Amino acid sequence: MKIDLAEQYKLFLDRMALDEEKMHPEQKKQIKQTFYFSWAQCIITFKDSIGSEDASEEEGAECLQDQLNQVGDFIVTITNRQQ
């Protein structure tokens, strides 16, 4: 299994309704850096928590679900503010 981060970055821009061609060069640089550093932070966090030998499969699944819930809550909050 391989995840193409460049493709994920494009999907991220689409979800956020961002067009790199319309961005100021500094904004484009900062958005891309933020995306990649955030992705790296997630990988490190998951490796150190879910991927640790101490974590059971059930604990890992619960942790992932909790992360999905937190992200979902944030998205709903932001979406509600914009309406």
Q: What is the pLDDT of residues 3-47, one digit of tens each?
A: 999 999 999 999 999 999 999 999 999 999 999 999 999 999 989
Q: How confident is the model at residue 78 (pLDDT cuts 50, 70, 90)?
A: confident
Residue whose structure tokens are 């030998």: 53
Q: Which position has the higher pLDDT, 75 or 83?
A: 75
Residue whose structure tokens are 């193409």: 4
Q: What per-residue confidence (pLDDT) applies to 8?
A: 97
Give the C-alpha separation, 20 to 32, whole Å.
10
Give the C-alpha separation, 24 to 29, whole Å.
9
